[in-house]
């Protein structure tokens, strides 16, 4: 009982430490301002897709616009960061609690609060606490997952709520379109065909309402065009399949050799036929599990992919050799399905943000392999290893996302904008923000910062002059001419970041941060001024 309370208090302490202490450190100028830049537009009367270009579903934008409207100005972004950590902790709590409802952790002799501590730190690593679609999607689906675990028999209101949450999740990010289908299958397995049809009808009814809301903002054809134009089938294959099957050769080759030799020698020693697969499956699972633990100390993001593969092998083992029915294993399939959806990302193609689902799946599989009860010291060793991995994950926070060491982040951005009060950054980044502030004072309201710094208008209470604030190739819907014509208007002053000109993305279009528009401005616009961090341009040199 005392241990139970210790881990419970530890979990709340960890969340409080991340929220109140770590939230203060770091301010990069790329992803951090992505969602706030759009939500700020909505606050100023613009509509998604119609007035600006956004390539994802809209829920996150409007949710954060609402928060932006409600939260006080002073320290607003710090409050955003606290909220981000809190909703992530709620997501972890709900998912672990759901597994406890479904599989009874007391019977497994697992402390659910200890698992929460590990899941929270491992899933986050040093992911910067800013508004992000994946985090919102995980929050909504975790509530649905928990409600499903609480629903012992079909209940209409709960089922309606689950359908609504699944669609909220799906409309945060395209890769979460899978979620409603997973829950329809779960209803089919849990309650039968009739109840699954009712749930499907509820989902379709709510979907029609979602689409009506979107059609009140823009045409459905325009919505479809903007939200399906950037990610190719090749990229889906790479992030969703190739990354899991074909890991770097220097890692995958030894793994496959080790697995093959282990199976061969095991069967040879026990004089069994190769058709006997139950024990080899167990051996494969344990080897992959050991590899994922080992990799966690060196490349924890890659370890999450190996852990995902291990969970898939484990589910096959439970179904084919432990004869577990679909009711038992389908929550595991759902949790891995969510993890897979998280990894469908060009910027962060790992399932690590929902490591919670992977860790919980591995726990259930290991329990069913019945190794803990034969070797008590294995459980103790595993606890030590997982605690060590959690500490490794925590250590990532010494270097916030795209920032310097946390002990070098001593410059307060509160002097730049009241919205950034309590946020600290490094000297160079602070001076860059200060430089930008002075330029805005000098050149007025019609300013454009290219290609990054997409949070400029939100920070300084300005209106955007372009239909997107992150002026890189993947964010402008290939409308290069439109952006250049708007930027070239005589009243507009363009602040081009010098740091961009020095990066390889300045010349290489294939780079993820490449900006054709930024390069065009550099070579074709008239330079009228220059500071330490920016080149200032006004209109084209010639027609």
Structure confidence by residue, pLDDT tens digits, 307-329: 998 999 899 889 888 888 999 99
pLDDT digits (tens, 9 = 90+) for 208-237: 999 999 999 999 999 998 888 666 666 666
pLDDT at 494 > cutoff 80: yes
Q: Which residues of 37-59 are buried (b: 16+ CB within 10 A; e: fewer)?
A: bbbbbbeeebebbebbbbbbbbb
Structure-token pair, residue 110: 């697992």
How much is the average pLDDT of 22-38? 93
Q: In whole numbers, what is the pLDDT of the chain averaged over residues?
A: 89
Give me the pLDDT at residue 265, please. Answer: 72
**Domain limits, the chain:** 1-230, 240-369, 426-540
- Listed in sequence order, the DSSP H helices in 271-325 are 278-295, 300-320
Q: How far apart are CA 449 and CA 452, in angstroms?
A: 7
Give me the pLDDT at residue 491, please. Answer: 93
Backbone φ, ψ for residue 152 (5° rounding): -75, -30
Q: How far apart are CA 61 and CA 226, in angstroms?
A: 15
Give me the pLDDT at residue 169, please. Answer: 97
Structure-token pair, residue 89: 């902790």
Residue 129 or residue 229, greater confidence:
129
Distance from the Cα of residue 223 to its chain's centroid: 22
Give residues with Cβ within 8 angstroms of 42, minimum separation 6.
Answer: 48, 61, 62, 65
Give me the pLDDT at residue 107, please. Answer: 83
Give me the pLDDT at residue 332, please. Answer: 97
How much is the average pLDDT of 121-143? 95
pLDDT digits (tens, 9 = 90+) for 54-92: 999 999 999 999 999 999 999 999 999 999 999 999 999
Give me the pLDDT at residue 382, please. Answer: 75
Of 143-147, 199-203, 384-388, least confident by mean pLDDT is 384-388
pLDDT digits (tens, 9 = 90+) for 420-451: 999 999 999 999 999 999 999 999 889 999 99
Q: How far apart are CA 21 and CA 492, in angstroms?
A: 40
Count of residues making up the chain: 543
pLDDT digits (tens, 9 = 90+) for 353-385: 999 999 999 999 988 887 655 455 666 777 788
Split at pLDDT 50, 70, 90, the class of 512 is: low
Block residue for tokens 């497994």: 108
Give me the pLDDT at residue 444, please. Answer: 85
Neighbouring C-beta atoms of residue 235, cutoff 10 Å = 14
Residue % of the chain over a pLDDT of 70: 88
How much is the average pLDDT of 43-55? 93
- Listed in sequence order, the DSSP H helices in 218-248 are 220-228, 233-237, 243-245
Give me the pLDDT at residue 247, please. Answer: 62
Strand bridging mode 447-450 / 424-425 = unpaired
Give me the pLDDT at residue 374, please. Answer: 44
The angle at the Cα of 339, spanning 297 to 296, to the nearest 5 degrees, equals 5
Split at pLDDT 50, 70, 90, the class of 489 is: very high
- Distances in Å between the Cα of 309 and the Cα atoms of 42, 196, 426, 465 are 41, 29, 39, 46
Instruction: Let me know if 71 is exposed, middle or buried by CB neighbors in 10 A (0-12, 13-18, 19+).
Output: middle
Block residue for tokens 């009808």: 201
pLDDT digits (tens, 9 = 90+) for 248-295: 655 555 666 666 667 667 666 766 655 566 677 787 788 888 888 888
Looking at residue 33, what DSSP letter applies? G
Continuous segment of H or E residues that includes residue 537: strand 534-540
Give me the pLDDT at residue 467, please. Answer: 95
Looking at residue 52, what DSSP letter applies? B
């Amino acid at each position: 009982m005392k241990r139970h309370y210790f881990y419970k208090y530890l979990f709340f302490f960890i969340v409080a430490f991340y929220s109140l202490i770590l939230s203060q450190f770091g301010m990069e100028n790329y992803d951090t301002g992505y969602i706030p830049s759009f939500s700020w537009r909505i606050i100023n009367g613009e509509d998604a897709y119609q007035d600006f270009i956004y390539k994802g579903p809209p829920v996150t934008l409007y949710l954060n616009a609402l928060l932006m409207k409600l939260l006080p100005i002073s320290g607003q972004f710090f409050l955003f960061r606290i909220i981000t950590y809190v909703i992530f902790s709620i997501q972890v709590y709900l998912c672990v609690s759901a597994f406890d409802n479904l599989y009874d952790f007391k019977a497994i002799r697992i402390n659910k609060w200890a698992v929460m501590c590990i899941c929270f730190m491992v899933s986050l690593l040093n992911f910067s606490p800013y508004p992000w679609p994946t985090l919102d999607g995980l929050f909504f689906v975790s509530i649905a997952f928990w409600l499903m675990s609480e629903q012992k028999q079909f209940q209409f209101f709960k089922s309606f709520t689950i359908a609504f949450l699944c669609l909220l999740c799906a409309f945060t990010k395209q890769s979460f379109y899978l979620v409603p289908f997973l829950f329809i299958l779960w209803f089919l397995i849990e309650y039968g065909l009739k109840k699954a049809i009712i749930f499907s009808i509820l989902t379709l009814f709510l979907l029609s309402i979602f689409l009506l809301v979107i059609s009140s903002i823009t045409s459905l054809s325009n919505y479809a065009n903007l939200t399906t134009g950037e990610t190719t089938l090749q990229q889906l294959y790479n992030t969703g399949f190739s990354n899991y099957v074909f890991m770097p050769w220097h890692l995958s080759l030894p793994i496959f050799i080790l697995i093959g030799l282990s199976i061969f020698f095991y069967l040879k020693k026990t004089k069994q036929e190769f058709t006997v697969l139950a024990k080899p499956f167990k051996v494969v699972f344990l080897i992959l599990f050991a590899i994922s633990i080992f990799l966690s100390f060196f490349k924890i993001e890659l370890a999450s992919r190996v852990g995902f593969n291990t969970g898939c092998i484990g589910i096959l083992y439970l179904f084919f050799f432990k004869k577990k029915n679909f009711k038992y294993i389908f929550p595991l399939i759902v949790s891995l399905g969510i993890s897979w959806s998280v990894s469908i990302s060009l910027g962060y193609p790992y399932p690590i943000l929902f490591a919670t689902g992977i860790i919980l799946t591995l726990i259930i599989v290991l329990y069913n392999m019945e190794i803990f009860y034969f070797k008590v010291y294995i459980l103790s060793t595993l606890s030590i290893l997982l605690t060590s991995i959690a500490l490794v994950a925590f250590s990532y926070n010494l270097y916030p996302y795209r920032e310097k060491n946390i002990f070098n982040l001593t410059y307060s951005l509160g002097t730049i904008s009241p919205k950034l009060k309590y946020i600290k950054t490094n000297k160079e980044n602070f001076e860059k923000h200060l430089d930008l502030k002075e330029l805005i004072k000098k050149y007025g309201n019609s300013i454009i910062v290219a290609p990054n710094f997409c949070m400029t208008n939100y920070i300084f209470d300005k209106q955007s002059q372009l239909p997107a604030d992150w002026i890189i190739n993947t964010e402008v819907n290939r409308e290069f001419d439109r952006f250049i014509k708007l930027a070239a208007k005589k009243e507009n002053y363009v602040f081009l970041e010098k740091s961009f000109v020095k990066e390889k993305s300045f010349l290489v279009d294939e780079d993820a941060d490449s900006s054709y528009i930024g390069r065009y401005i550099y070579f074709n616009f008239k330079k009228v001024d220059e500071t330490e961090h920016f080149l200032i341009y006004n209109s084209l040199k010639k027609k």
